[in-house]
Structures are given as structure tokens and as C-alpha cells.
Amino acid sequence: MTTNPSAEGAQDAVCQVRLPLSKRTIDLVATLIRRWRRELGTRWRKLDPGSQAIVVLSILRHDQRLADMAGGNAVSASTVRRWVTEVQR
């Protein structure tokens, strides 16, 4: 079986749980992330704020392992840990 390579530049968040969260909750956390990025003056991040919010919420709500979420999203576990810390502050 052959598989097509992923489109270059695609940035989908990988999450192995079904989150019973409203879009409003995800938007709220994404807004907080955007605000924090603006304060820091960062130019870019691996995932967009919405995808980052889903990763963080899956860790906080369903106790997903940092390494699992990191590997599925092509970032390091320390990056995911920093994302969680940023949202919790």
C-alpha cells in the first residue's frame, strides 16, 4: 500500500483523545495564547494558536503524556511543557 506524502507546510495538530470541549473554550485558550505571543513578541511558532490550544487542553484535561503529544505534532516534549506552562500562568 502506498501513501501520499503530506503537503509541505501542513500543520495539523495530532490528538489521540476526543475532547468534550466547546469551540468557545478552544477559542478562549487560543486567544490567551495569541495575547501571550504578542506580549513576548514572538515571530512564529510551530503550531497556530488554535492547534496549540488543543494540544494543551488535551494534556490538562485528559492527562495525555507530553512525549506523546510532542511526537504527534513534530515538536519536543520541552516545547509542549512550555506551552502548558504558558497557558497555566
Q: Decide: 53 and 33 in contact? Cβ < 8 Å.
A: yes
Chunked in runs of 10, what are the mean pLDDT values of the chain (89 residues)? 51 59 89 90 84 87 81 87 86
Give residue 65's pLDDT. 81
Q: Decide: 50 and 15 in contact? Cβ < 8 Å.
A: no
Sign of CA dihedral 53, 80, 75, 3: negative
Cα separation, 49 vs 59, in Å, equals 15
| DSSP secondary structure letter of residue 41 | T
Domain ranges within the chain, ordered by starting residue: 23-88
Give residue 18's pLDDT. 63
Give residue 54's pLDDT. 87
